[in-house]
Amino acid sequence: MRVVVQRSKQAKVVIDGETVGAIDFGLVLLVGITHEDTIDDVKWMADKVAGLRIFEDESGKMNLAVTDIGGQLLSVSQFTLYGDCRKGRRPNFMAAARPEQAEPLYDAFNVALRERGLKVETGRFGAMMDVELINSGPVTLILESGA
């Protein structure tokens, strides 16, 4: 499982002109699922995201997690995170899990985040989405389960 985490001041997902998910302050999560991912990867990643200390404390040090600051999450499925561009000019997406495997794990990831007390907004799995965000910092990290 691969998640790109972006600290955000504001973000939203728009599909066909309609906002389907939006947050104020928190994290934007671009979520990729691969063939080997299991519910254990989902739980590990939810714990990692919920506890990731990338918000400043009163001393200006990255010492607070999204749970500490009352932040929100915008979770967006993104199979292209498993695009392999090493050969040729067209990405190979063979490492991305097929939708019938990926969608239930993506949904379980969002449930696991909510179970940790977080407000989670989402895009729509498999849809063509416009993601708008104001990256705060900027702070962008890549997390991988099983690494």
Structure-token pair, residue 54: 């990338």
> Is the Cα dihedral 1, 99, 106, 39 positive or negative?
negative
Question: 21: part of which helix (H) or strand (E)?
Answer: strand 18-23
- List all residues 6 or more positions away from 34 whose beta carbon is below 8 Å from its beta carbon: 1, 2, 82, 95, 96, 97
Phi, psi of 2 (to 5 degrees): -125, 130
Residues designated catalytic: 78-80
Give the C-alpha separation, 41 to 71, whole Å: 23
Give the C-alpha separation, 4 to 68, whole Å: 20
